[in-house]
Amino acid sequence: MTSANFGGHNWGMVVDIDKCIGCQACVIACQAENNVPLNTQDRVERGRSISWIRIERYWEGDFPDTKARFIPIMCQHCENAPCEPVCPVFATYHNSEGLNVQVYNRCVGTRYCANGCPYIVRFFNYWEPVWPETLRNHLNPDVTVRSRGIMEKCSFCVHRIRRATRTARSQDRQLLDGEIQTACSSACPTSALNFGNFNDPNSKVSTMRKDQRHYTLLDQFATEPNVIYLAKVDTDRKVGAGEAASHG
Amino acid sequence: MSTRSMLGLFQQPEPAADAMDGLKEAGFELGSFDVLTGVPYPEGAFGEYVPQHRLFRFPAFGAIIGFTLAVFLTSVTQLAYPVVTGGKPILSLFAMLIIMYEMTMLSAVIASVFGIIFESRLPNMKPGIYDPRITEGWIGVVITFDDDSRVADAEGVFNRAGAVEIKHAS
Amino acid sequence: MQQRRSLDQAYTNRKLLNGQLDTPKWWAPTVIVLGILVLIGIGVISVMINKGLGVTGLSRPVFWGLFITTFVFWVGISHAGIMISAILRLTQAEWRRPVTRAAELLTVFSLLTALVFPLIHAGRPWRIAYWIMPYDFGRGIYPNIRSPLIMDPVAIGTYLTGSTLFLYVALLPDLANLRDRTKGWRNSLYTVLALGWRGNPRQWKMQTVGGILLSALMLPIFVSVHSIVSWDFAVVPAVEGWHSTIFAPYFVIGAVHSGVSAVVTMMALMRWLWKWDDFIRPEHFDALARLLIVVATGWLGFTFLELIFALYGQDAPEIALREMQMFTWPWNMLFIIFFLTAYLIPVPMWLFKRVRTNIALMFWTSILVNIGMWLERFLIIVPGLARRTPFVYTWDSYRPSAVEWTIFIWSFAWVTFLMLLFSKFFPLVPLFEQKESQVFTDDVMIGRAKVPAVLREAD
Amino acid sequence: MASEAVAQGHEAEHHALPAQVAPDVVARELVATTMGASGRFKAIAWTLGVLSIAGIVALVLKWLDQSDDSTRWGYVAALLSFLLSVAGGAPMVAMAPVMAKANWVRPVTRIAAMFSFASIVTIITLIPLVAILPPLVTEGARRRTIWFEAPDYSPHIWSIVGLVLLLITGIGLFYSAAIPDFASMRDHSMGWRQRWGKKFARGWVGTDSQWRTLRMRIGMFGTFYFLILVFVNFLITTDFGQSMVPGWRDAIFPMYHSISSFQAGVAAIVIALWAARRYMHLEKYVHVDAFWSLGRLLFALTLLWVYFFYSSFIVFWYGRSATDISTLNLLIRGPMMYAFIAAIILIWFVPWWILIWNKVRRSVNGMAIGAAVILVGVLIDRIRIFVPAWSVPPDQIHEKWLTKIPGTVYPDIFDILIMAGGISLAVLIILLMTRVIPVLSVWQVQEFNLLSKPIKYVRGQATMIAKPD
C-alpha cells in the first residue's frame, strides 16, 4: 500500500538475465554518465568503491560443467523502500513517478538508509571526490558532483528523464516509449537492460514484465521493486537471493 | 504583614514539639508559627498542621499541554510538506505516537518540577529569620507576630520548652 | 543486614561536604590530566570533521561502527540513574540513599556524552541542525517523524531534561546546607541556587511527594529511551541480526545491567577517593550486587530468547550471521570475552556474600560487566552489518581506526572530568537523604531479638 | 506484644493498617471460616459443578467429533493459555514476602497459592490439544519450531512434563506454606478437618528448626515455580502458538505472555480477596492496604503489558517484510480484529483510566472492578491470538510466510461449553479449597501483626515495619 500517485509515469526497468553477458559496459557507462569518482585501488580495498550499477558474478554447477552467471544490480527503486522512511531529513523519498530519489542537499549523512537497503546499492562519500586532471572536463554538466559526507545511488538517470520530458513538452507531445534510455540500458550491447514506463500498458517493459520468467530480488522483504528480472531460460532456477547465498 | 519574627532553636525534636504545643495553647493562630528542620521528619511529628498541596494537578496540566503540542507538531508538519517515504502513510500514527508520548512526558515532568518549586513557596529571596545550625540537626521554631505585645509570652513558651537560643528579627 | 550507627549531623556535613569545603589534594592534578585528554579528544574530533569520515574504519556495508556502539553504550550507562533513584525510591529501598545523586549525575553526564556520537558520526555534522532542530520555516520542509532517528533525539532530550530537573530538585536541601556552610561569592551562589530553602514542613513534604511523583514520571521515560534506541536497529528488516521484536526490553535490561554496574564502580571510587567509609558501606555493595544478580540473570534470559528466535526462522542468512558472530575469527574471540565478562565471571562471584561485601572485588567485577556490555552492543551492530549478504561483492569487515579509538577514550575522560568538576561544587552524596535514613530507620525489639525496622508514614 | 498491639488497636483506624488482633483470636477466627457452608455457597458450588461436568463432556465429544481437524481447536487452545495465565500467574505473589520482604503481601499469599490447584484444569485442556497438535514435519517439510532437528514427539512430551511440573511445584509451594495452618486446624477445629490437620501438619509444633526449614522450603519452591512458569510459558506460546503460524517470528511473545499472565494472576487474586473479604467477613484481616499495594502492582503490569505489546507491534509494522505483514494480517488486522480492539481497551485503556486514581486503588470495590475488566480482557486477548493461530490449515503450516489469511473461526456449542466448564471447574476447585484450609494464612497474618506496629513518633503517627533477614 503506497500513497504515491503515479500520474503519467511509473519508471522501471526489466533486466533479462538470459541476455546478460557480464561485459560491464553498463557499469562504465554509468560511471561516466553520473560523475561517479574513480574507484582507485585503495578505495576498493577499503570497501569504499562506488558503482551505482554492479555485475554480480556467481559460479553455478561443479567443475567441469561450470557456468558463469551474471546479474546486474542497481537501485531497485522499491515502492516500499526500506531506505526511505528511516531518513530523518527526507533526503530520500518516493517521487510521483515511482522513482526513489536522493536529494543531495538535504542529506546529512547518517547512513541509516544504507543500513536499511537489503540490496546494498547505496554508497557513502567518505572523501571529497577527486578526478585526475585529464578527466576534469569530462564531467557531465547535468549531474551534480556529490560532495563528501552524503549518500548517493542510482537515479535511473533522472536528468535524462527530465530533459526528455522537457523536449516532449516543448514539442507538446507525449513521451514516446523507449525515448528515454538510461546510460546503462543504452550502453548494453545485448539490450538486457530495458528502461521504460510501467504505467503504459503496451510499453516494451510492460509487455516484458508479463513474461512468465519474471521475478524480483529478495522478495522476502516485500519491497515491491521497480526493477524486474527475467530468469535465465536454460534453467528454471532463478539467479537471485536463494542460491547466491549458497555460492557465496 | 509580619512586623517582627522570632526563632527558637532546639537541639532535640521533643522540646521543639513542646514549644509548638505551647504556642498552640498560648493561642497563636496556626500558620503564624512554623518549624524548621534540616531533615524531613515524619508528617505531624511536631504537631504542626499538615500542609495542603495541589501538586498532582501540575503534571496533569503539563501532560495535556504537551500532548496537544505533540499532536500539532507531528501532524501539521507532515501535512505541510507531504513526502511519501517507503509507502508509509503521510500520517503514520504508530510512529507519531512515540513522539507524542515523549513530548507528553517531557512537559509533564517540567510542569511538575514547576509545581514542586511553586508548592514549596519557592523561590523566596527573603526567607526571613534563620540559623545555619538548623542544617546541622538543630530544630528551629519560627514565629511571626502581628503585634509586638505577644513577643513576651512566645518567648516564655520557648524558654519553658527549653530553647537553647532565641533569635529576634524585625 | 545493615548495621546502623547513629551519625551526628554536623559530622555528616563535615564528611560529605569535604569535596566542596576542603578540596582533596588529588583533585586538581587529576582534573588537569583529564582536561588535557579531553582537549586532545576534541582536537581529534575536529580533525575528523575537517577531513571527513574517511579517517574512520567504516566502509560498505559496515556503515555504522564504533561510534554508534559507544553511543548505545553510554545511553545504557545513563539508565543507572533512574533505575537507582526512581525504582528504588518507589520500592522504598533504604540502601539506595547514599547512591541516588551519584547515579543521577551519571545519567546526566553519560547522556550528554552519548548525544555527541550520532552527531559527529554524521557525514555532514555542520548540517545536523536540520536533523535535530530542523524547524527552519524558510525551507518549508520538516523532519521525518517516521524516522527512528527523529524519535531518538526527542526521547534522549526528554530523558536528559527530565533527569537534570530531577537532579536539581533533589539538590535543593543540600544547596541550602552549603549556603549555611560557605562564605563569600560561593555563599551568594548557593543562596541563589537554593532559592531560599528553609526546611519547613511544607518544603519537606514537597521534597518527598515530589520525589515520588518525579520518579513515577521518569520511570516510563527511562524505559522508553532505550527502547527507542533499540528500535533504530530492530525496525530494519534488511539486517537479519537486528530485526527482532525483543530488542526493546532486551536493550533496556542490558542497559540496567551495565548502568548499575557502573554505579557500583563509581561508589567504590567515591568511597576510596573521598574516604566516605561511614556512608558508602559494604552492605550497600551487597544490596546492589543482589540486585545485579537478578538483573543479569533476567538479561541472560532475554539473550537466550533473542538467540533462539534468531535461529527459529531457520533462514540461511540469519544462521550464517550467527555463525559468523560466534564461530568466526575475530568475532568468536570477542563473543567469548563478552560472555565471560558480562555474565559468567561476575555473577557466580556475586553469589558469595564475601565477594559482595568486598569493595575491591566489586569494583573489578563491575568494570568487567561494562566491558562485556560494550562488546555486546559491538557484536550486535558490527557483525550484523558485516554479514555475508547474498551479493558477494558487498562483503567487508571492520577495524576501528586510531581516530575512532581516541574519540572512544575521550568519552570516558570527558564523563570523569564532568563528574569531578561537579564534585567541586555540589555534594555527590545527598546529605539530607543520608540524615533522613538516620531518622527513618531504627531497631525494634521483638521478644528478645533486635530487628532492624523502617519507619513508614501513615498515608 | 499482643496485648500492647490490642491496646493500640484503636489507633490503627486512621492508619492504612489492619486492626491489630491477638494471635490466638486470629487462629480461632480464621479456622472458623472453613467450617460449614452457607446455602449460597452450596448453590454456587453445585452450579459450577454442573457446568464443569458439562464442559468435560463437551470436551470429550469435541475430541470424538473433530479430532481430525486442528483448525477447530483454537478456542480450547485459548482456554489452555488463559488458565495457564491465571492459575500459573497467581501463585507468583505467594513467594513475594520471601523475595521482597514486603509486609503487606503476607496475608494474601494463601489465596495466591490456592490457585496452583487450578492448574489441574490446565492439564485437562492440554490432553486433547497435545493429541491434535500438527506434526513437526508435514509433506517432508519441517515447520519452524524451537525443536530444530528434534524428534517429532518433542513438543508434546515437553509441554506435558512442563505443566505437570508446574502443578507439582505449585502444590509444593502451597503445602510448604500451609503446614503451620494445618497445625492450627488440628488445634482449633474438629471432625474430619481436625483429622486432616493432624495428618498434614506432620507433627508441627513450631520449633525454631521447623520454621527455618519452612522458610527455606517456601524460598526453594518459589524459585523453582518461577523458573518452571517461565519455561512453560515459553513452551506453550511457541508450540501451541507461534509455530502454528508460518512466518510468525516474535521473540518477545513468550515474555508478553508471561507478563499478561502475571497481570491476570494479580487480577484474579484481587477478585478472590474481594470475595473473601465480602462473603467471609474478613474485613479485619484483608485491609485496604493490601488492595492499595496490589493496585499499584496491577497498574505497573498494565503499563508493562502495553509496552511489551507495542515493542513487538512497532517492529512488525515498521519492518514490514513479507513475514511481518502476514503476521499482522493474521493476528491484528485479520479475522480477529474486533477481538483485538476489545482486548486493547479492556486490558490497557479501561484499567489504566480506572487504576490511575489513588482513590480507586484505595477502594476495595473499585479495585475489584478494574481486576474483573482485566481478566475479561486477557481472556479475549488469548482468543484473538490462539484462535487465528490454530485456524491456519496444516498444509500451509510449513511455508515461509502465510500467503492466504484464513477467515474468522466462530466458537461452536462445544467450545462455549468447554470454556465455561473449564473456568468454572477452576473456580470450583478454589472454592472447595477454602473449606479445607483458612483462606488467609493464619501464621502469616500473625507475623504481619507482629512485624508492623503503629508507633508514636514525637507527636506524629507512623508505622514501624520490622525487616528481619
For B80-107, how does the pLDDT look when each residue is reduced to its tens digit (9 = 90+)? 888 889 888 889 999 999 999 999 999 9
Ramachandran sector of residue C314 (left: φ over 0; alpha: ψ -120 to 50; beta: rest): left
Touching check for B69 and chain C: CB below 8 Å? no
Q: How far is B90 from chain A (nearest CA, A)?
A: 8
Q: What's the average model confidence in pLDDT over A198-204?
A: 90
Q: How far is C145 from chain D (nearest CA, A)?
A: 13
Residue C14 has pLDDT above 70, yes or no: yes
Contact residues on chain A for D249, CB-CB shorter than 8 A: none
Q: How far is B87 from chain A (nearest CA, A)?
A: 4
Contact residues on chain B for C204, CB-CB shorter than 8 A: 37, 40-41
Give D368 or D190, the one with higher predicted confidence.
D368
Record: contact D322-A220, CB cut-off 8 A: yes
Instruction: Annotate D85-120 with DSSP letters as a single string.
Output: HHHHHGGGGGGHHHHH--STTGGGHHHHHHGGGGHH
CA distance A175 to A164: 7
Place B3 in a pLDDT band, splitting at 50, 70 and 90.
low
**Reported ipTM:** 0.92
Residues 6+ apart with CB under 8 A from D312: C245, D250, D252, D253, D256
Q: Which of C142, C155, C172 sits opposite B102 (nearest CB)?
A: C155
Q: What's the average model confidence in pLDDT over D45-66?
A: 94
Touching check for C330 and chain A: CB below 8 Å? no
Question: Percent of chain D scored above 90 by pLDDT?
Answer: 54
Place C458 in a pLDDT band, splitting at 50, 70 and 90.
low
Sketch the domain layout of chain B as residue ranges: 4-53+128-169, 57-119
Q: How far is D166 from chain B (nearest CA, A)?
A: 38
- What pLDDT is stored for residue B108 in this prediction? 96
Mean pLDDT over the full length of chain C? 89
This prediction has a pTM of 0.93
Range of the domain at D53: 36-441
Question: Percent of chain C scored above 90 by pLDDT?
Answer: 61
Question: Percent of chain D scored above 70 by pLDDT?
Answer: 94
Closest residue on chain D to C231 (Cα): D315
CA distance D26 to D33: 11
Give B31 or A152, the one with higher predicted confidence.
A152
Residue D9 has pLDDT above 50, yes or no: no
Residue A231 has pLDDT above 50, yes or no: yes
Closest residue on chain D to B88 (Cα): D318
- What pLDDT is stored for residue C5 in this prediction? 57
Contact residues on chain A for C239, CB-CB shorter than 8 A: 115
Give D194 or C133, the one with higher predicted confidence.
D194
Q: What's the average model confidence in pLDDT over A91-102?
A: 91
Burial group, residue C233, by CB count within 10 angstroms (0-12, 13-18, 19+): buried
Residue D7 counted as domain residue? no
Nearest to C383 by CA among C397, C373, C394: C397
Contact residues on chain C for A43, CB-CB shorter than 8 A: none
- What pLDDT is stored for residue D19 in this prediction? 54
Location of C-alpha cell 480482557 = D377
Touching check for B87 and chain A: CB below 8 Å? yes
- What pLDDT is stored for residue D318 in this prediction? 93
Tell me the pLDDT tens digit for each residue of B38-75.
888 888 788 777 778 899 999 999 999 999 999 998 99
Contact residues on chain C for D308, CB-CB shorter than 8 A: 249
- What pLDDT is stored for residue A235 in this prediction? 54
Location of C-alpha cell 528454471 = A236
Print burial letters for D25-50: b (CB count within 10 Å at least 16), e (below 16): ebbebbbebbeeeeeeeeebbeebee
Mean pLDDT over the full length of chain A? 87
Cell of D390: 490454530
Tell me the pLDDT tens digit for each residue of A62-94.
887 788 889 999 999 999 999 999 999 889 999
Q: Alpha carbon of C37 to those of B56, C34, C71, C406, C413: distances in Å?
A: 46, 5, 19, 9, 6
Lowest average pLDDT, out of A84-88, B5-9, D211-215, D458-462, goes to D458-462
Q: What's the average model confidence in pLDDT over C118-140?
A: 78
**Omega prior to C346 cis, within 30 of 0:** no
Instruction: Annotate D149-167 with DSSP letters as a single string.
Output: S--TTHHHHHHHHHHHHHH
> Nearest 5°: phi and psi at B165?
-155, 150
**Omega prior to B123 cis, within 30 of 0:** yes
Residue D16 has pLDDT above 50, yes or no: no
Touching check for B99 and chain A: CB below 8 Å? no
CATH code of domain C9-454: 1.20.1630.10
E strand segments, C353-446: 441-446
Q: Alpha carbon of D8 to those of C441, D371, D450, D466: distances in Å?
A: 21, 33, 13, 17
Touching check for C5 and chain B: CB below 8 Å? no
| Binding-site residues on chain D for chain A (CB distance < 8 A) | 318, 320-323, 325, 400-401
CA distance C84 to C373: 19
All chains having 3 or more CB pairs closer than 8 angstroms to chain C: A, B, D
CB atoms inside a 10 Å sphere around CB A166: 10
Lowest average pLDDT, out of A30-44, C11-25, D71-85, goes to C11-25
Q: How far is B100 from chain A (nearest CA, A)?
A: 17
Residues 6+ apart with CB under 8 A from A210: none
Closest residue on chain C to A118 (Cα): C238
Tell me the pLDDT tens digit for each residue of A22-39.
999 999 999 999 999 988
CA distance B40 to C436: 6
Q: How far is C197 from chain B (nearest CA, A)?
A: 7
- What pLDDT is stored for residue C336 in this prediction? 95
Q: What's the average model confidence in pLDDT over C156-182?
A: 93
Element (H, E) at C146: none
Record: contact D458-B21, CB cut-off 8 A: no
CB atoms inside a 10 Å sphere around CB A59: 11
Q: Are D284 and D18 in contact (CB under 8 A)?
A: yes
Record: contact C145-B74, CB cut-off 8 A: yes
Q: In chain A, how long is the greatest CA-to-CA distance?
A: 58
Record: contact C130-A89, CB cut-off 8 A: yes
Contact residues on chain A for D317, CB-CB shorter than 8 A: none
Q: Which of C123, C385, C394 sits opposite A149 (nearest CB)?
A: C123
Q: Which of D16, D252, D311 sits opposite C458 (nearest CB)?
A: D16
Tell me the pLDDT tens digit for each residue of C298-326.
999 999 999 999 888 788 888 888 988 89
Q: What's the average model confidence in pLDDT over D447-458?
A: 82
Residue D456 counted as domain residue? no
Element (H, E) at D456: strand D452-457
Residue D18 has pLDDT above 50, yes or no: no
Contact residues on chain D for B43, CB-CB shorter than 8 A: 460
Q: Which of D314, D459, D462 sits opposite B17 (nearest CB)?
A: D459
Record: contact D458-B46, CB cut-off 8 A: yes
- What pLDDT is stored for residue A4 in this prediction? 41
Location of C-alpha cell 515459553 = D234
CA distance C382 to C387: 8
Place C375 in a pLDDT band, splitting at 50, 70 and 90.
very high
Residue C80 has pLDDT above 90, yes or no: no
Residues 218-237 of C with CB under 8 A from B: 218, 220-221, 224, 228
Touching check for C432 and chain B: CB below 8 Å? yes
Residue D296 has pLDDT above 70, yes or no: yes
Q: Which of B47, B95, B98 sits opposite D459 (nearest CB)?
A: B47
Place D374 in a pLDDT band, splitting at 50, 70 and 90.
very high
Record: contact A220-D401, CB cut-off 8 A: yes
Q: Which of B86, B89, B90 sits opposite A82 (nearest CB)?
A: B86
- What pLDDT is stored for residue C29 in this prediction? 95
Q: Are A120 and A138 in contact (CB under 8 A)?
A: no
Q: Which of B84, B89, B92 sits opposite A93 (nearest CB)?
A: B84
Closest residue on chain D to A80 (Cα): D320
Within 13 Å and on the Cβ side, how many CA atoms surround C105? 23
SS3 A231: coil
Q: How far is A64 from chain C (nearest CA, A)?
A: 22
Place D36 in a pLDDT band, splitting at 50, 70 and 90.
confident
CA distance C92 to D328: 41
Place A244 in a pLDDT band, splitting at 50, 70 and 90.
very low
Closest residue on chain C to D320 (Cα): C237
Ordered alpha helix ranges (H), A57-157: 112-116
- What pLDDT is stored for residue B127 in this prediction? 74
Place B6 in a pLDDT band, splitting at 50, 70 and 90.
confident
Q: Which of B81, B83, B84 sits opposite A2 (nearest CB)?
A: B84
> Which of B92, B116, B119, B129 is best to mutate for the C interface (most C CBs within 10 A)?
B116
Q: Are C19 and C428 in contact (CB under 8 A)?
A: yes
All chains having 3 or more CB pairs closer than 8 angstroms to chain A: B, C, D
Residue D323 counted as domain residue? yes
- What pLDDT is stored for residue D6 in this prediction? 36
CA distance D172 to D169: 5
All chains having 3 or more CB pairs closer than 8 angstroms to chain B: A, C, D
Domain A11-226, CATH class in plain words: alpha beta
Record: contact B41-D313, CB cut-off 8 A: no
For residue A37, the 8-state DSSP code is P
Record: contact D322-A222, CB cut-off 8 A: yes
- What pLDDT is stored for residue B168 in this prediction? 84
Touching check for B42 and chain A: CB below 8 Å? no
CA distance C315 to D144: 10
Contact residues on chain B for D458, CB-CB shorter than 8 A: 13-14, 17, 41-42, 45-46
Residues 148-167 of B with CB under 8 A from C: none
CATH code of domain B4-53+128-169: 3.30.70.2750
Give C392 or C253, the one with higher predicted confidence.
C253
Give A2 or A131, the one with higher predicted confidence.
A131
- What pLDDT is stored for residue D428 in this prediction? 96
Residue C23 has pLDDT above 50, yes or no: yes
Element (H, E) at C454: strand C449-457
Mean pLDDT over the full length of chain D? 88
Location of C-alpha cell 558503482 = A51
Q: What's the average model confidence in pLDDT over D362-387?
A: 94
